[in-house]
């Protein structure tokens, strides 16, 4: 009798706490936004700037998030080494850019600049794909039949291994990305401030996402990947080589991450051995936000996270007089991760994951 | 291609020789010998847990026997992977249908024809849809939205898309209404009359023996009896144990 009361009390206090949590979050968002907007410190142009910045950032998160979500879909594991695959791509692009700069092509004229960027992205995709396929073969495939926690630990190990391999190879220093001058210039539009690099990031990210979506939904191999995600034994009975489908998934996800690595580095102009960690974990957040395992969800989650990070701090926190709220963008991103995991673990577009992946 | 049977007098498409399979740590098949001739319907009957499903999974390569030999169409396929056996000509309709619920009906059928070229595939698709007209109206629907009977039709149609020479059917009547059960067995006869060799596992032993030419009785991983279907149906022990007679 007594223990049942304790149980009731625990239940009530937990749900009470969760409701308080919800109310506090909603209050911060609503009151903060109202205060910020009524103070009128920021012009419309500033908000548009923030939104455009969020769009660039968000499309990069979306590209990386696709790799997390596809691998989760097919293997039910979080590939924590994905951030390092992204970083390796950025390094690949860096060396291509240095080579192109030495050959004098990088800034010769806008045409060679664009071609150079294409080459950088291609090199990055190749580097990332090779690395991801190796990681899958060496670290994950032997653990295919192991309990779910074990490949997860292997992934964390692979992540550290890659980080410190790159540190060993290229040192702990930060490499400044060679400047592509055209990309830094402003787009000649009177009503918004926009650099060419943002146009490049958003356009190439959207083209790649559309390509990936068509690949997954319309092609024979893409359909086979979805079939393997659903039921490996039955997929094998269809004549699908399950291992090949899994490797293809890793390769495609890594290619997106490699391209994202170059785009990110072109925006922030630097790369070092640890530079995959934060974007990686942000993209993981985006994948969870959209519903992990869900391809359109990852795209949506990435774009949403980009906006939340870019507009959120100013909109929600500035009104409370928080000094330099932009320093708190990571807090916003990870608060969102916690909120999603607590209140809607299946994400925005997600199905109830537990039913399928038991 | 046609490995003529050694002294059995028929055209053997599948032979199991002393096959032992483990399911985890359970010794599920304990030295199975079995033969299927081209054009036959052979049925495996037995109680729950006798090893019927394990036997089919072993033939289609989902499980590999550490001991024994499987000969399909004259070639030793004991250690061939499941996805390669599809190319060799084995189609497997698994227990519980196992439709890809999140793929459309058309995509399910296309996956069935994964090993075929696009041109061959459209021809096979037409054949499957002629056999199962109900599926034609549902092509763009998700597999998971179909009724049990429709899912069973899709599962069989999907397996036929690879143009198998041997079709393994695992409990096709499970969970279906009596009318649908009747339809499924009619269909099995029809597919067989078009030349398909079928190895059928059924809980519903009476129906299975009705359509089959020959049968084997499995009990705790061993074959205890084999005869023509009518012979088995007339056997007193079989009637008592599997046909519900006292």
Q: Domain extents for chain A?
A: 44-356
Q: Out of B91, B107, B162, name the one closest to residue A223 (CB).
A: B107
Q: Quick check: B84 pLDDT over 90?
A: yes
B107 CB near a chain A CB, below 8 Å? yes
Cβ pair A127, A261 in contact under 8 A: no
**How many alpha carbons lie under 13 Å from residue A156 in its C-beta half-sphere?**
4
Q: Per the structure block, which two tokens stand in for A152?
A: 């997860």
Give the span between the Cα atoms of A172 and A212, in whole angstroms.
34
Q: Is pLDDT of A352 > 70?
A: no
Reference A193, options A44, A36, A62; nearest CA is A44
Is pLDDT above 50 for A336? yes
Domain B1-89+165-246 falls in which CATH fold? Rossmann fold (3.40.50)
State the pLDDT confidence band at B245, using cuts at 50, 70 and 90. low
Nearest Cα to A234, choosing from B164, B112, B9? Answer: B112
User: In this complex, which of A220, A226, A242 lies closest to B83 when CB atoms are compared?
Assistant: A242
- Report pLDDT for A357: 38
Distances (CA, A) of B229 to A106, B61, B106, B185, B186: 79, 27, 36, 15, 17
Q: How far is CA A89 from CA A122, A124, A254, A322, in A?
A: 9, 4, 9, 37
- pLDDT for the residue numbered A45: 85
- pLDDT for A42-89, tens place per residue? 888 889 889 999 999 999 999 999 999 999 999 999 999 999 999 999
- Burial code (b: 16+ CB inside 10 Å, e: under 16) for B147-156 equals eebbbbbbbb
Kindly state the average pLDDT of the residues B210-218. Answer: 94
Beta pairing partners, B26: B23
- How far B115 CA lies from chain A's nearest CA (Å)? 6
State which fold the A44-356 domain adopts: ABC transporter involved in vitamin B12 uptake, BtuC (1.10.3470)
Q: What is the DSSP string of B147-199?
A: -HHHHHHHHHHHHHTT--SEEEEE-TTTT--HHHHHHHHHHHHHHHHTT-EEE
Contact check, Cβ <8 Å, B103/A234: no
CB contact under 8 A, A224 and B114: yes
Q: Which two tokens stand for residue A226?
A: 């979805």
Residue B121 contacts A where some CB pair is shorter than 8 Å? no
Please give the C-alpha separations between residue A29 and each of A317, A332, B97, B111, B135, in angstroms, as whole numbers: 8, 11, 49, 48, 50
pLDDT of residue B197: 96
Q: Do the chains contact at A240 and B61, CB–CB below 8 Å?
A: no
Give the minimum alpha-carbon distance from B88 to chain A in angstroms, rounded to a whole number: 10
pLDDT digits (tens, 9 = 90+) for A193-238: 888 999 999 999 999 999 999 999 999 999 999 999 999 999 999 9
Contacts of B227 (CB under 8 A, 6+ apart): B214, B215, B235
Tokens of residue A85, six digits? 């695959």
Nearest to A311 by CA among A29, A30, A47, A43: A47
Q: What is the DSSP string of A86-100?
A: HHHHHHHHHHHHHHH
Q: How far is B238 from chain A (nearest CA, A)?
A: 32
Q: What values do phi and psi take at A262, rounded to 5? A: -65, -45
User: Is the distance from CB of A282 to CB of A116 less than 8 angstroms?
Assistant: no
What chain B residue is nearest to A240 in terms of C-alpha separation? Answer: B83
Split at pLDDT 50, 70, 90, the class of A358 is very low
Model confidence band, residue B38 (pLDDT cutoffs 50, 70, 90): very high
- Beta strands across the sheet bearing B90-93: B90-93, B166-170, B197-202, B41-46, B214-219, B222-228
Partner B contacted by A226 (CB < 8 A): yes
Sequence ranges of the domains in chain B: 1-89+165-246, 101-163
DSSP three-state, residue B212: coil
**A149 or A183: whose pLDDT is higher?**
A149
- Indicate if the pLDDT at residue A1 is higher than 80: no
| Residues of chain A neighbouring B86 (CB-CB closer than 8 A) | 237-239
Q: From CA A187, how far away is CA A244, in angstroms rounded?
A: 44
Task: Tell me if B18 sits within 8 A of B32, measured CB to CB.
Answer: yes
3 state SS of A352: coil
Q: In 3-state terms, what secondary structure has residue A229?
A: helix
Q: What is the pLDDT of residue B3?
A: 39
Q: Which of B61, B87, B103 sits opposite A227 (nearest CB)?
A: B103
The string over A82-106, giving b where at least 16 C-beta atoms fall within 10 Å of a residue's C-beta and e elsewhere, is bbbbbbbbbbbbbebbebbeeeebb
pLDDT per residue as tens digits for the range B99-133: 999 999 999 999 999 999 888 898 999 999 999 99
**pLDDT at A179 (0 to 100):** 86
- How much is the average pLDDT of A109-125? 92
Largest CA distance in chain B: 55
Look at residue B6 in the predicted model and tell me its pLDDT.
Answer: 42
pLDDT at B241: 80
Give the pLDDT of residue B246.
Answer: 55
User: Other C-beta atoms within 10 Å of A42: how many?
Assistant: 15
Among B110, B114, B124, which would you mutate to test the A interface (most chain A Cβ atoms within 10 Å of its Cβ)?
B114
Q: What is the pLDDT of residue A67?
A: 95
Q: How many CB atoms lie within 10 A of CB A142?
A: 11
d(CA B143, CA B148): 11
**In chain A, which residue ranges form alpha helices assigned H by DSSP?**
2-39, 44-75, 82-102, 110-135, 149-170, 181-184, 196-218, 220-230, 232-237, 242-268, 277-290, 295-312, 329-343, 353-356
* CB pair distance less than 8 Å for B103 and A230: yes
Round the average pLDDT of chain A to a whole number and report it: 90
Interface predicted TM-score (ipTM) of this complex, two decimals: 0.90
CB-based contact, A241 to chain B, within 8 Å? yes
Quick one: average pLDDT of A264-289? 93
């Amino acid at each position: 009798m007594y223990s049942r009361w304790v149980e009731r009390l625990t239940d009530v206090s937990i749900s009470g706490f969760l409701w308080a949590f919800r109310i506090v979050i909603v209050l911060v968002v609503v009151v903060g936004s109202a205060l910020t907007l009524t103070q009128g410190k920021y012009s419309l142009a500033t908000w548009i700037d923030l939104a455009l910045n969020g769009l660039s950032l968000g499309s990069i998160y979306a590209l990386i998030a696709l790799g997390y979500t596809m691998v989760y879909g097919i293997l039910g594991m979080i590939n924590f080494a994905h951030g390092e695959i992204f970083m390796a791509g950025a390094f690949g692009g860096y060396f291509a850019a240095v080579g192109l700069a030495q050959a004098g092509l990088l800034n010769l004229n806008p045409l060679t600049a664009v071609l150079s960027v294409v080459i950088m992205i291609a090199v990055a995709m190749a580097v990332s794909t090779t690395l991801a396929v190796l990681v899958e073969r060496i670290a994950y495939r032997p653990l295919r039949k192991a309990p779910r926690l074990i490949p997860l630990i292997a992934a964390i190990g692979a992540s550290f291994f890659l980080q410190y391999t790159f540190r060993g190879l290229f040192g702990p220093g930060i490499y400044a990305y060679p400047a592509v001058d055209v990309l830094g210039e402003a787009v000649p539009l009177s009503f918004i401030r926009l650099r060419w690099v943002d146009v490049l990031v958003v356009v190439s990210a959207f083209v790649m996402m559309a390509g990936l979506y068509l690949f997954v939904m319309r092609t024979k191999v893409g359909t086979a990947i979805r079939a393997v995600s659903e039921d490996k034994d039955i997929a094998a009975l269809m004549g699908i080589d399950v291992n090949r489908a899994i490797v293809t998934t890793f390769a495609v996800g890594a290619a997106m991450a490699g391209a994202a690595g170059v785009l990110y580095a072109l925006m922030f102009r630097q790369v070092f051995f640890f530079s995959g960690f934060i974007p990686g974990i942000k993209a993981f957040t985006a994948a969870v936000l959209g519903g992990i395992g869900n391809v359109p969800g990852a795209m949506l989650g990435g774009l949403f996270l980009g906006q939340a990070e870019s507009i959120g701090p100013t909109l929600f926190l500035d009104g409370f007089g928080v000094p330099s709220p932009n320093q708190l963008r990571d807090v916003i991103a990870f608060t969102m991760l916690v909120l999603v995991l607590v209140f809607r673990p299946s994400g925005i577009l997600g199905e109830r994951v537990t039913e399928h992946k038991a | 291609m046609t490995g003529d049977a050694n002294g059995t007098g028929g055209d053997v498409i599948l032979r199991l020789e002393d096959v032992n399979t483990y399911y985890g740590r359970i010794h599920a098949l304990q030295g199975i010998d079995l033969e299927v001739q081209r054009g036959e319907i052979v049925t495996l009957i037995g109680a729950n847990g006798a090893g019927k499903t394990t036997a089919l999974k072993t033939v289609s390569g989902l499980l590999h026997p550490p001991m024994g030999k499987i000969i399909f169409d004259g070639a030793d396929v004991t250690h061939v992977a499941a996805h390669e056996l599809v190319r060799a000509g084995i189609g497997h309709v698994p227990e519980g249908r196992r439709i890809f619920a999140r793929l459309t009906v058309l995509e399910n059928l296309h996956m069935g024809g994964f090993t075929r070229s696009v041109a061959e595939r459209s021809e096979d698709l037409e054949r499957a849809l002629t056999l199962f007209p109900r599926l034609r109206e549902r092509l763009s629907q998700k597999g998971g939205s179909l009724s049990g009977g429709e899912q069973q039709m899709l599962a069989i149609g999907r397996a036929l898309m690879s143009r198998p020479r041997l079709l393994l059917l695992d409990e096709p009547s499970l969970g279906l209404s009596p009318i649908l059960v009747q339809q499924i067995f009619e269909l099995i006869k029809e597919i067989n009359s078009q030349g398909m060799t079928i190895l059928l596992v059924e809980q519903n032993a009476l129906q299975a023996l009705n359509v089959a030419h020959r049968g084997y009785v499995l009990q705790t991983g061993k074959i205890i009896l084999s005869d023509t279907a009518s012979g088995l149906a007339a056997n007193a022990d079989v009637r008592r144990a599997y046909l519900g007679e006292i």
